Structure 1
């Protein structure tokens, strides 16, 4: 029993925690920052003001995690973000391919809970910042509503991933809120502020359930009753639940921080009004057995403050895909801006303009230019309003968070400030450590002198010399123009044989296309051929007299002809992909991007792959054979295809026991081995709602064994589904040879991108 007499006042229980890094905000950026930093060996406190992790992706909001892959609706091939965010999305696809948001919560919590270097504080709100001096934070104060504990969190470094930037704001860091004018940075896509507004609004979603019998609905008193107040309800479809209702947006003309509760109430009025109309207007009789299963209780926020770092990204960085010496992450979502009036606007719900390829994000955007121990993460990084339209999406935020996590760990270990890592040897160290965990920074390969594979002789049991893909797939109709991407070598003229089927006598136009630069947009036509087809099946040979101008992807292109189909193959290979000039309205892809007026955005076509089970390659024969799958790729520094080539080793298709051998002139002491497999970086792996065809990517090696020079087993793995496998040996081994024996995935060949040994 506890009994206390009257006291004039009492203080809550207090707890002081001293750590290396305090991460404020448990959304995707904060989770990726905390895990990455903790795995790098420093102590982390992760503070989240909600009962679950994930922010806008959590079961409280239920927005899917997306980034550069953009629903497979743009030309960013093999562009899913690497590192921890990739690991989490793969884990979710394996455990939760149906996209249940509650299961997603458990996966995020699992990842954080199992890191011994992370102290997790849920339901805990940071409300005060104490500083050592004008330019350094000493501690933050936070209160947990569930335990009534007042925390004082001291740290060497702080990472603000809070969405609204509470730590950065209280620390006095420079910020912006709203849209820049077109004149300030020459951003021609900057909105007309008076007409379009300055801020993106909030959204709330709902889920429905069919209970198999009639369900009545009586709207709450605050629901909007007049459909005329909801002009966009005219486009509502019953299947539009969850984040497919992103267009139910409001608040862009209000203070999206301090008026959030007001915005939330308006969104509830709209949503309950929509559902009242669906259930009671008579326009949706098929909704009779539907019930409103869930509606969000907090809004998903899009935009508020953006804080200023040593670099300020703008539209041109994205559209021109500018190179940055200090690149540490990448983006690729469209520049996606919304009218401030949201659901009450007569304008389109959004304008999305894509770049021709993924773009680099510089490290200088991820720390404060004034507060010497403050990192930024998530949507508050140092970008303009227009650039923010792309960098704000969650997978991009998580990818940048990983850069912060590694930067913080290096700063702790080497006594550095965030700015110290922005140039010179310290920058190279940062990029190297990121690349080693699979960050895949564009144009920056893994280069590590300590990697023992550098001095090893690499041999393979066999190597694929690709001359054909079998005709064992379905026919692909040419309702859209289609192309087979093939990694070609400069100076080589290729012959490609295809099997086609015509429903009538017709002329088929074929082209050899290639990208104009280091991207995957086939915007240059190098040659055009014409074929007179008769009714029925026949083979055609595309004998190209033209070579691609450099080592790059050639697009063997069949132009749209609804009377023709091309035979496909069930065989999948890294860096070999069929794409289509089709449409994907979800990301404003209507086959071709044609901006209205001079807004600094390029016009180009979209060529996108199909999702499996429809994602087959063309069946083809090619001459000369494609010799691009050699074991030398295993130390090339890239862990996915790039515009220059495949970057993977693949064994011969008849090799039933594929293996890679590393040999050294003398024994090496090995503590750790890291293998990079094929997790299909083209697949977006949306975290909730959509669902996925497979739980394991078809080219991912499931089972493998590693043996030493005596043939003794060093490590065995069964049932792998992750793209990055890190093997920490219980005790170091000394060996002059390692053999990695791989089991081919069902119906496919094993694929290995990179091997690291330390």
Structure 2
């Protein structure tokens, strides 16, 4: 029994936590940053003001995680983010292909609590900052509503991943809200005052079929006049979850301090929409539906944006500008929404894509005036227009894990975030990121400690592609399709393919490339051919009088002709892909982007893959052979397809594929990193969507690593991750390593992007 005498005043108990890095905000950005920092040896305090991790991706909001892949609706091939973002999405697809948001909660919690260097504080809100001086944070004050405990969180370094920038705001970091004028950065897409300067919040609901009629009595606060929502004429009873992203409001208000007002207005709209669906009589298919879940906190898009030493702008995205201090990339469209949201007569979003991914500089991920504060998530240093692309969760989290790696360097060297630039340590930061599977466009891994750099590399076989084998599939050419083929500089050899037709016709074929070798937008046509097609089976040869000037993907483009059935194949190979000139309205892809002339965006066509089991390669022959899958690719410093496949691929007929690394003298090896192909083209949306596979078809499931005596020093029989980090309990001294792999299936040959070894 506890008995306390009357007192004039009491205070809650306090607890001091002293760590290397305090991260405020446990959304996806905070999660990826905390795990990254912890694995680099930092003691981390992760402070989250909600009962679950994940922020907008959690079961509290239920927004799917997307970034540069954009629902496979743009021309950014193999663009899923690497590092922790990739690890989490791959793990979720493996454990949770149904996209259950509750299961995703458990995955995030599992990953964070598995790291002994992380102190996790849930239900704990930061409310005060104590500073050493005008430029330096000493500690944060936070309060947990569940255990009535006050925390003092002290560290040399802080990261604000809170979305609204609570630490940055309280510490006095320079920030902005609203849109910049066109003149400040020369951004032609800067919105007008009529369109509005802020994106609003959204709130979703889930419905459920009970198998019997369900009535709905709306609460008194439900919106009673549905015609106030211009979109009401296009409602349907089948949409739920984040497909309802257009239920948005708040862009005319203060999206920080008016959040509760915004939430109530969104609740009114949600229950008004559901009342209309259930009781208007216009949706008989909704008779058995009930509301299963309605969000209780809105998903926020925009509030404060903080100023770093560089502020990203529209031109960085559209022109794909290069930055010496690049540490991440983006690729979502510049996606602005009208400030009036669901009550606007304007389209619910205004998305314009770039021709490829763009770099994000390190100078945008720390505060320009608070010396020990990293900026993370959606509050990094970017204009309103650039923010419209960088704000999405996968991009935001990707930037955050780069900031966490920078924090590790700062801790080790006793320096501050900006010193990484001033002391010439950006290259070191980039290389440490690349080692973990982080991809930075245009930056290659060059780790001098990697023992593979000095090894002789051989393989039991190397695929030299000449043709696909097996029974072909016949599919009508209902939409234009292109086969992406990785070519080396020089003249293009003849290609053979087959087509069937029921009547005489012609087939238009074009050879296209991208104006930038690292892009995958086929905006340059090198040659054209018109081929006569006769009834029945046609064996056709393409002879293009053209040359490739640099290593790049060529697009063998077959224009639409429904009278023709083009032969396809079930076979798939790492770094080879078919793409289609189709429409994806979810990301404003209507086959071709035709922007107004005065907004500073490019015009081009969209050529996008189809989701498996569709998206078959074209069944073609290349007699000269594509010799681009060499074993030496495993140390070229690029761990995904870009302008080439960048992988070793074994021959299909090789029954026991293996890589061999040989050194002139025995090496002491303690760590081995192996990177496999988990299909970086797959968006792996985290919730709502169901994926047909739990493991990507290109991923090597089984492998063994042997020393020069044939001893197995490491093995795996159920791999599904791209990055396999092998830490041996004791160093092995050996003059060679043999990595034996199994083909993923009869239709997909084994592939390895990279192998790295360390003493």
TM-score, length basis structure 1: 0.99
Q: How far apart are residue 447 of structure 1 and its match?
A: 0.5
* Backbone CA RMSD of aligned residues: 0.8
Aligned partner of residue 448 in structure 1, secondary structure = coil
Alignment-derived partner of residue 705 in structure 1: 704
Q: How far apart are residue 503 of structure 1 and its match?
A: 3.2
Alignment-derived partner of residue 717 in structure 1: 716
Alignment-derived partner of residue 85 in structure 1: 85
Alignment-derived partner of residue 568 in structure 2: 568
Q: Does 1:503 align with 2:502?
A: yes
Q: Distance in 2 between matches of 1:477 and 1:483?
A: 14
Q: Distance in 2 between matches of 1:325 and 1:230?
A: 47
Aligned partner of residue 256 in structure 1, secondary structure = coil
Aligned partner of residue 418 in structure 1, secondary structure = coil
Q: How far apart are residue 492 of structure 1 and its match?
A: 2.3
Q: Distance in 1 between matches of 2:215 and 2:110?
A: 39
Asked if the contact 2:165–2:304 (Cα under 8 Å) also holds between the matched residues in 1, the reply is: yes
Alignment-derived partner of residue 657 in structure 1: 656
Asked if the contact 1:473–1:616 (Cα under 8 Å) also holds between the matched residues in 2, the reply is: no
Q: What does residue range 354-503 of structure 1 map to in structure 2 within 5 Å?
A: 354-422=353-421, 425-470=424-469, 472-503=471-502
Q: What does residue range 13-92 of structure 1 map to in structure 2 within 5 Å?
A: 13-92=13-92
What CA deviation, in whole Å up to 9, does each residue of 1:274-313 have, x standing for no partner?
0001000000001000000000000000000000000000
Q: Distance in 1 between matches of 2:140 and 2:30?
A: 16
Q: How far apart are residue 538 of structure 1 and its match?
A: 1.4
Alignment-derived partner of residue 750 in structure 2: 750
Alignment-derived partner of residue 318 in structure 1: 317
Q: Distance in 1 between matches of 2:688 and 2:574?
A: 28
Q: How far apart are residue 502 of structure 1 and its match?
A: 1.8
Asked if the contact 2:45–2:121 (Cα under 8 Å) also holds between the matched residues in 1, the reply is: yes
Q: Distance in 2 between matches of 1:542 and 1:694?
A: 35
Structure 1 stretch 553-562 or stretch 122-131: which is displaced more?
A: 553-562
Q: Distance in 2 between matches of 1:121 and 1:504?
A: 70
Aligned partner of residue 500 in structure 1, secondary structure = strand
Q: Distance in 1 between matches of 2:589 and 2:547?
A: 30
Alignment-derived partner of residue 221 in structure 1: 220
Q: Distance in 1 between matches of 2:361 and 2:308?
A: 10
Q: Distance in 2 between matches of 1:691 and 1:53?
A: 22
Q: Distance in 2 between matches of 1:438 and 1:602?
A: 31
Q: Distance in 1 between matches of 2:565 and 2:235?
A: 35
Q: How far apart are residue 472 of structure 1 and its match?
A: 3.1
Q: How far apart are residue 471 of structure 1 and its match?
A: 5.1
Q: Does 1:267 align with 2:283?
A: no
Alignment-derived partner of residue 212 in structure 1: 211
Alignment-derived partner of residue 286 in structure 1: 285
Q: How far apart are residue 181 of structure 1 and its match?
A: 1.0
Q: Does 1:5 align with 2:5?
A: yes
Asked if the contact 1:471–1:619 (Cα under 8 Å) also holds between the matched residues in 2, the reply is: no
Q: What does residue range 541-556 of structure 1 map to in structure 2 within 5 Å?
A: 541-556=541-556
Q: Distance in 2 between matches of 1:558 and 1:422?
A: 48
Asked if the contact 2:236–2:277 (Cα under 8 Å) also holds between the matched residues in 1, the reply is: no
Q: How far apart are residue 424 of structure 1 and its match?
A: 5.5
Structure 1 stretch 222-231 or stretch 588-597: which is displaced more?
A: 222-231
Structure 1 residue ranges, 4+ long, deviating more than 3 angstroms after superposition: none
Aligned partner of residue 753 in structure 2, secondary structure = strand
Structure 1 stretch 48-57 or stretch 617-626: which is displaced more?
A: 617-626
Alignment-derived partner of residue 609 in structure 2: 609
Q: Does 1:678 align with 2:672?
A: no
What CA deviation, in whole Å up to 9, does each residue of 1:459-502 have, x standing for no partner?
10011010011353532322221100001122122211111122
Q: Distance in 2 between matches of 1:88 and 1:496?
A: 40
Q: Distance in 1 between matches of 2:472 and 2:16?
A: 63
Q: Distance in 2 between matches of 1:355 and 1:475?
A: 34
Alignment-derived partner of residue 144 in structure 1: 144
Q: Distance in 1 between matches of 2:229 and 2:452?
A: 62
Q: Does 1:190 align with 2:179?
A: no
Q: How far apart are residue 423 of structure 1 and its match?
A: 5.2
CA distance 1:503–1:596, change in 2 (3 Å): farther
Asked if the contact 2:236–2:283 (Cα under 8 Å) also holds between the matched residues in 1, the reply is: no
Alignment-derived partner of residue 119 in structure 1: 119
Asked if the contact 1:20–1:44 (Cα under 8 Å) also holds between the matched residues in 2, the reply is: yes
Q: Does 1:101 align with 2:109?
A: no
Q: Distance in 1 between matches of 2:597 and 2:663?
A: 61
Aligned partner of residue 275 in structure 1, secondary structure = helix
Q: Distance in 1 between matches of 2:175 and 2:471?
A: 58
Asked if the contact 1:253–1:340 (Cα under 8 Å) also holds between the matched residues in 2, the reply is: yes
Structure 1 residue runs without a partner (length 5+): none
What CA deviation, in whole Å up to 9, does each residue of 1:669-709 have, x standing for no partner?
10100000001000000000011110000010001000000
Q: How far apart are residue 242 of structure 1 and its match?
A: 0.3
Q: Distance in 2 between matches of 1:723 and 1:423?
A: 34
Asked if the contact 1:87–1:722 (Cα under 8 Å) also holds between the matched residues in 2, the reply is: yes
Asked if the contact 1:250–1:340 (Cα under 8 Å) also holds between the matched residues in 2, the reply is: yes
CA distance 1:636–1:276, change in 2 (3 Å): same
Q: Distance in 2 between matches of 1:570 and 1:669?
A: 43
Q: How far apart are residue 240 of structure 1 and its match?
A: 1.1
Aligned partner of residue 568 in structure 1, secondary structure = strand
Q: Distance in 1 between matches of 2:109 and 2:5?
A: 41
Asked if the contact 1:679–1:700 (Cα under 8 Å) also holds between the matched residues in 2, the reply is: yes
Q: Does 1:538 align with 2:527?
A: no
Q: How far apart are residue 63 of structure 1 and its match?
A: 0.2
Asked if the contact 1:472–1:568 (Cα under 8 Å) also holds between the matched residues in 2, the reply is: no
Asked if the contact 1:407–1:418 (Cα under 8 Å) also holds between the matched residues in 2, the reply is: yes
Q: Distance in 2 between matches of 1:597 and 1:459?
A: 53
Structure 2 residue runs without a partner (length 5+): none
Q: How far apart are residue 716 of structure 1 and its match?
A: 1.1
CA distance 1:685–1:473, change in 2 (3 Å): farther
Q: Distance in 2 between matches of 1:422 and 1:272?
A: 51
Asked if the contact 1:470–1:620 (Cα under 8 Å) also holds between the matched residues in 2, the reply is: no
Q: Does 1:167 align with 2:167?
A: yes
Asked if the contact 1:471–1:568 (Cα under 8 Å) also holds between the matched residues in 2, the reply is: no
Q: Distance in 1 between matches of 2:538 and 2:22?
A: 65
Alignment-derived partner of residue 525 in structure 1: 525
What CA deviation, in whole Å up to 9, does each residue of 1:533-568 have, x standing for no partner?
112221211111211222111101101112112111
Q: Distance in 1 between matches of 2:525 and 2:478?
A: 20
What CA deviation, in whole Å up to 9, does each residue of 1:623-673 have, x standing for no partner?
310000001101000110112x11000111100100001011111010100
Q: Distance in 2 between matches of 1:240 and 1:319?
A: 32
Aligned partner of residue 86 in structure 1, secondary structure = helix
TM-score, length basis structure 2: 0.99
What CA deviation, in whole Å up to 9, does each residue of 1:414-464 have, x standing for no partner?
111101112554111100000000111001011100000011000100110
Structure 1 stretch 470-479 or stretch 382-391: which is displaced more?
A: 470-479
Structure 1 stretch 184-193 or stretch 136-145: which is displaced more?
A: 184-193
Alignment-derived partner of residue 303 in structure 1: 302
Q: Distance in 2 between matches of 1:218 and 1:717?
A: 56
CA distance 1:288–1:464, change in 2 (3 Å): same
Q: Distance in 1 between matches of 2:56 and 2:535?
A: 54
Q: How far apart are residue 235 of structure 1 and its match?
A: 1.2
